[in-house]
Amino acid sequence: MKKISLRWRMTLMSLIIVIITCVSMKIAICSSGTAQITELGDYVLDFTAGYSEEKVSDTSEYIRQFEEQFTEELAMVRSHFCMYNWLITGTVIIISGLVVFFVSRRSLEPLKRFSGQLGEIRMENIADMRIKEDNVAEFALLSRSLNDMLDRISHAFEAQHQFTANAAHELRTPLSLMQSQMDLYVEENQDVSEKTAETIAMIREQTERLSDMVRILLDMSELQTVPCSDTISLGPMIEEVIADLSSMAEKENITLEQSGESADIKGSDILIYRVFFNLVENAIKYNKKGGKVSVETSLHAGKVHIYISDTGYGIPDEFRNNIFQPFFRIDKSQNRSLGGVGLGLSLVWEIINLHGGKVEVMESSERGTVILLEFSSI
């Protein structure tokens, strides 16, 4: 059976409601008018009956009294009629509004289903998610257009990921060769000039940065292929991260702390470790001398919240929504001196998104920054 278009649904709904409203008002007003006229007729009959039974000496006086009382009765009937009409109109309007509300919900059900399908589209399921086209005429055409657009976006993302992976693979070999050749040259030429030594150190530093960038790009391109079915105990994992970064923290005289409840999540053990490692390492790098980095875990209504806080210099408000973008750096000169390439937090966001979690800057000021991670607990 062919589905009725949304235009015809709304037209028929409006027409039916108008007809019902008009008929209801006509019946109600006619009933009210008939009742008032009947009441007025009964008054006239009662008055004339009194005239017939009583001996009236002065007919003109009786007629005058009749006119006065009839005028008063007519005014009262008119007042009652107007009042009843307003009550009827108000009642019909309220009932019609309720009918429109409930009927429109039914008529707009296809729009609600269509909106719900759009809300299910995510970055991670864009390759498989498609809008159902068995809808009303207006939405069927829109669904086909959206599905075509999703196909193009999916192919574009796939091409982008493939290009990134290919480029990273192609760059990794010559970079490794360059690093090994530089190391060999340094070993064989210990007595180079100071200027040459500075140049070699700069080349080695930039080569290492490029190698880190290529490694992270490869990790990002291969995220979708990593299974996320491990049961992860966050407490031991955070302890391991803190232990692995303790030597780095000691060099900067920074204290690492862990606290909170024990919690388990489902995901990739390797990737979640990378998330905590990157965030804690970042908190150490951009902290103040003698500062502190703390990791606190808590449970809230089936969700695991992890707060990673530091005593650094904070993140300006205008940059809070940008720090998880690829290659974004607040202070490029500082990042360069610390070896950052602007991809660590972007990788964190990709991994959290893959696990259906959330990461955000909860608060930040000159006293430090708090990063919030949220996962579903098991």
Q: In this predicted model, what pLDDT tens digit does every residue of 176-206 receive, in sequence order? A: 888 888 888 888 887 778 888 888 888 887 7
What is the percentage of the chain residues whose pLDDT exceeds 70?
79
Q: So what's the pLDDT on residue 214? A: 76
CB 171: neighbour CB atoms within 10 A? 16
Which phi and psi (to 5°) does residue 87 adopt?
-65, -40
The pTM assigned to this predicted structure is: 0.56
Q: In this predicted model, what pLDDT tens digit does every residue of 55-109 receive, in sequence order? A: 445 566 666 666 677 677 667 777 777 777 778 777 777 877 777 777 777 767 7
Q: In this predicted model, what pLDDT tens digit does every residue of 208-229 receive, in sequence order? A: 777 777 777 777 666 766 778 8
Least reliable range by pLDDT among 38-42, 48-52, 89-93, 170-174: 48-52
Q: Which domains does the chain have, with CATH numbers?
A: 6-107 (no CATH), 137-221 (1.10.287.130), 226-376 (3.30.565.10)
Q: Of 25-34, 97-106, 153-162, 260-269, where does the model show the most confidence?
A: 260-269
Is 91 or 309 the better-scoring residue by pLDDT? 309
Q: So what's the pLDDT on residue 208? A: 78
- If you average pLDDT over residues 21-49, what whole number do you get? 70
Q: So what's the pLDDT on residue 1? A: 40
- If you average pLDDT over residues 242-253, what whole number do you get? 90
Q: So what's the pLDDT on residue 238? A: 93
CB 141 within 8 A of CB 110: no
Q: In this predicted model, what pLDDT tens digit does every residue of 109-137 receive, in sequence order? A: 777 777 777 777 766 666 677 777 666 66
